[in-house]
Amino acid sequence: MPDAFSFHLLATDGAARRGQIATPHGTVATPAFMPVGTQATVKGLAPEAVRTTGADIVLANTYHLMLRPGAERIAALGGLHRFMNWPHAILTDSGGFQVMSLSQLRKVENEAVAFRSHLDGTMVELSPERAIEIQHLLGSDIAMQLDECLKLPAARGELERAMRLSLGWAERSKRAFEQVPPGRALFGIVQGGDDPALRAESARVLVDIGFHGYAIGGLAVGEPQEAMLRTIGEVAPVLPADRPRYLMGVGTPEDLIEAVARGIDMFDCVLPTRNGRHGLAFTRFGPINLKNAHHADDPRPLDEASRCPAARDYSRAYLHHLVKANEMLGAILLTTVNLAYYQELMASMRAAIAAKQFDAFRNDVTTGWQRGDLALS
C-alpha cells in the first residue's frame, strides 16, 4: 500500500531544514525543487529525463489542465500520473494564480472567481470546492487551497481584502478536502503581500484551521528580493516546525539558498525551464548566456565536472549554434542542464544542512558564481 502523506524533519542548521516528505507516489527529499509541468509536461523533456535530473516531484497547473484537456477527461484516463507517465509525486496548484495572471477578464467574489478562458473565451467558474474537486480528479499528491494572489506593490486595503478572502477559501478548501480519500495532502497559502501584520494574521488563522503543509504565496510578484526575504524571515518562524513550508514561484539559485536559510522546504519556478528555452544556462560559474557571440568558437563544455551529460558532452560553441539556429535541441539541452543544476544545488544544500555546514556552503557557492564564466579559460 502506498504511503500516506507525512513529513519528517531530519536535521536543522540554523533556520535551514533537511527533511523528507512521504507521498502516495514516493518520497521527496527536502529542501526540494519542483520543476513546473504546466500542461502535464515539463516543457521539452520526457518524464524519465526529468527524473534523471534528480526531481522527486513536479508541479502541474490546475488552471491549464481544467481548460485543456479537462480534469474529468484526465480522471477517466486514469489520473494525471498515468496521463503524463510520471509515476512520482505531483503537487498541483489551485488555479488561482493563473486566473489572475492569464485571464483577461475575471470577477472575484466570495463564492468563487469567474474568468474568461484564454483558450476559447468561454466563461469558467472556479470555487474553492471546485479547485479541490479538480485536484482530486487529477489525483495530485499535494493539493493547494484556492487563493487570491495580488501583484506588488498593492494598496494595504486590497492586500487585506484578498488575504481575508483567501482565508475564507482556506476554510472551505479544508472542508471540501474531507471528501478526498486519505493519504493525500492539502496545503494552505499565507497571503498578505509585504505587510507584516497581514502576513502574521494570515499565518495564524491558517495554522488554526490546520493543514498538512503551509505555502507562502504572493511573493516574487514584483517586490525587491530584500522585501521577499524579509517576509519569508517573518512568516517561516510562525509556521509549525513539523509541517513543510513551500515558497511558491521562487526563484533564482540565490533566492533558493536564501529562502532555505530562512526555513523554506519546497520551491517551484519556471526559471530553469523558461530560461533554458531562451538560451540561458545556470551553472556553478553563474548564469551563461549562450546567445552571446563570444561562445561561437569555444570548445569547452558548460561544466566538465557536472554530473549532467548535457553540461559535459557538448561544447559551448555547439550550444551557441543550436540557440542561434533556433533548434529544439538547444532548448532541450539547456533545460536539462538547468534542471540538473537546480537539483544539484538542492542536493548540496541538503548535504550541507545535514553536516551543519550551511553557511560555509552558501559562501562557497556564492564565490563560484562571482568567479564567473571565464574562470576556466
Residues near a copy of itself (CB under 8 A) are 39-41, 43-46, 68-69, 73, 76-78, 83-85, 296-297, 299, 310, 313-315, 317-318, 320-322, 324-325, 327-329, 331-333
CB of 318 to a copy of itself, least distance (A): 5
Beta-bridged to residue 33, according to DSSP, are: 267
Measured distance CA(133)–CA(62) in Å, rounded: 11
Among the listed residues 13, 56, 93, 141, the single catalytic one is: 93
- Residue whose cell numbers read 492586500: 159
Measured distance CA(295)–CA(292) in Å, rounded: 6
Residue 320: which of 348, 289, 351, 347 has the closest Cα?
289
CB of 69 to a copy of itself, least distance (A): 5
Residue 184: which of 278, 108, 89, 106 has the closest Cα?
89
Based on C-alpha coordinates, what's the Rg of the chain? Answer: 20
133 φ/ψ angles, rounded to the nearest 5 degrees: -60, -45
| Residue 250: C-alpha distances to residues 34, 159, 270 (Å) | 10, 20, 8
Residue with smaller CB distance to a copy of itself, 329 or 347:
329
Among the listed residues 13, 147, 194, 268, the single catalytic one is: 268
CB of 377 to a copy of itself, least distance (A): 16
Residue with smaller CB distance to a copy of itself, 84 or 302:
84
- Tell which phi-psi region holds residue 183, choosing left (phi > 0), alpha (psi between -120 and 50) or beta: left
Measured distance CA(224)–CA(192) in Å, rounded: 16
Cis amide linkage into residue 153, ω under 30° from 0: yes
CB of 326 to a copy of itself, least distance (A): 9
Residue with smaller CB distance to a copy of itself, 318 or 342:
318
Measured distance CA(131)–CA(96) in Å, rounded: 9
The count of C-alpha atoms lying within 13 angstroms of the C-alpha of 371, restricted to the half-sphere facing its C-beta, is 12
Task: Give the three-class secondary structure for 50.
Answer: helix
CB of 55 to a copy of itself, least distance (A): 15
Q: Does residue 268 carry a catalytic annotation?
A: yes
The DSSP annotation for 268-313 comes to E-SHHHHHHHTTEEEETTEEEETTSGGGTT---BS-TT-S-HHHHS
CB of 136 to a copy of itself, least distance (A): 20
Residue with smaller CB distance to a copy of itself, 12 or 315:
315
Residue with smaller CB distance to a copy of itself, 230 or 324:
324
Range list of β-strands (E), 167-277: 185-190, 213-216, 245-247, 266-268
Residue with smaller CB distance to a copy of itself, 49 or 227:
49
Q: Does residue 93 carry a catalytic annotation?
A: yes
Q: Which residues are catalytic?
A: 93, 268
